[in-house]
Amino acid sequence: MSNYRRTFLQRTALVGSGLIGAATGVGAADTDSTGATGSARIEGTVTHFGRPVADATVTADENSTRTDESGSYSLEIDRGEYTLSVTAPGYASRSIAVNVADGETVSMDVGLEREWGPGSGDLEVSATPVGGGRTIPCEITVFGDERYGVTAPLGSAPDGENWEKGFQVSEGWWEILVTNAEGYSDGYQEVLVEDGETAFGWVQLAEGDDEIAETGRIDGTVVDETGTPVDGATVWTDGARTAVDDDGEFELELEHGRHRIVTTAAGYERVAGDVQVKFGRTTGLTVTLRSRDSQ
């Protein structure tokens, strides 16, 4: 089995990508389904890259709940200052300060980033037609904190002939991309690998020739602290330079994975951070620059 490493940079405080929770008062608190009548409420959704994270644990001091299938949660609380903590398997935890007034409902949407390790497990993958059947010869690539690729002549890993085990990977969420299956379109699945366990990825392929791009696009805007576009900014990523247009906008096409974005402009502080790029999808990104005069 061959493998090659993809580097994922550490998380930073780059503004954008929907990772920053927003707290806004939206009205009076209601009674929840259990009949509880707290004097205030915190509610919102937990997502990763715009998709809901179900069964995440949301805690405000001693109050705790879990998100539903849509990623939504609601907490009845007393008025006061709280630290809202959000945890979910395979994701980095988030903690956000929230101040809630009496009778107020605060909306707090939280974006989570994926995290891997320190434990490890096995990931086994099979590719079949939709609904099942014989496995299909293909190429299998898995993406997490590293990237592993293998040619699967029998349509699975392991296959009982070329190797006895699947991919040995860090615990966390892994994305599976199946390509080059003759007569079938590319396939995709996400699987959570737990420490010391074996996870199974079953990728069902539809007949056709549709391909999933291994690149994604960033549609970005560079603004100042007032939200005004900065038209003289420069964006650096993977050693390449991109100049923003007169409206402070820029576009990048990058490989699937996490990339470091560095933004500079005359008269402004340099901003550096990371952004996640997904297969064939567009990531919206707003980079806010702080004027040196405001120091």
Provide the β-strand partners of residue 138. Answer: 152
Q: Does the pLDDT value for residue 238 go beyond 90?
A: no
For range 212-220, the mean pLDDT: 91
The tokens for 187 are 């396939």
Domains and CATH numbers, the chain: 23-111 (2.60.40.1120), 116-205 (2.60.40.10), 215-294 (2.60.40.1120)
Phi, psi of 294 (to 5 degrees): -85, 0
Average pLDDT over residues 101-129: 95
Query: What are 47-88's pLDDT values in tens digits?
Result: 987 789 999 999 999 999 999 999 999 999 999 999 999 999
CB of 169 closer than 8 Å to CB of 149: no
269 bridge partner residues? none
pLDDT band at residue 247, thresholds of 50, 70 and 90? very high
The span from the CA of 269 to the CA of 112, in Å, is 27
Give me 131's structure tokens: 């609904």
Instruction: Tell me how many helices (H) and strands (E) the chain has.
Output: 0, 26
The confidence band for 289, taking pLDDT boundaries of 50, 70 and 90, is very high
Q: Find residue 188's DSSP bridge partners.
A: 177
Strand order in the sheet with 234-237: 240-243, 234-237, 257-264, 271-277
C-alpha closest to that of 45 among 71, 66, 76 = 71
Q: Give the tens place of pLDDT for each residue, 9-46.
A: 222 223 333 333 334 333 333 333 333 345 899 999 99
Provide long-range contacts, Cβ within 8 A and 24+ apart, for 129-133.
129/184, 129/204, 129/205, 129/206, 129/207, 130/204, 130/205, 130/206, 131/204, 132/204
- Percentages helix, strand, coil for the chain (3-state, rounded to 5) are 0, 55, 45
In the prediction, which pLDDT does 236 show? 95
pLDDT score, position 8: 24
Q: Which two tokens stand for residue 149?
A: 């690729």
Strands (E) across 30-117 are located at: 40-48, 51-52, 57-60, 63-66, 72-77, 80-87, 94-100, 104-108, 110-111
Q: Is the peptide bond before 89 cis (omega within 30 degrees of 0)?
A: no
Measure the CA–CA gap between 227 and 236, rounded to whole angstroms: 21
- Output the pLDDT for position 165: 86
Return the pLDDT at 295: 55
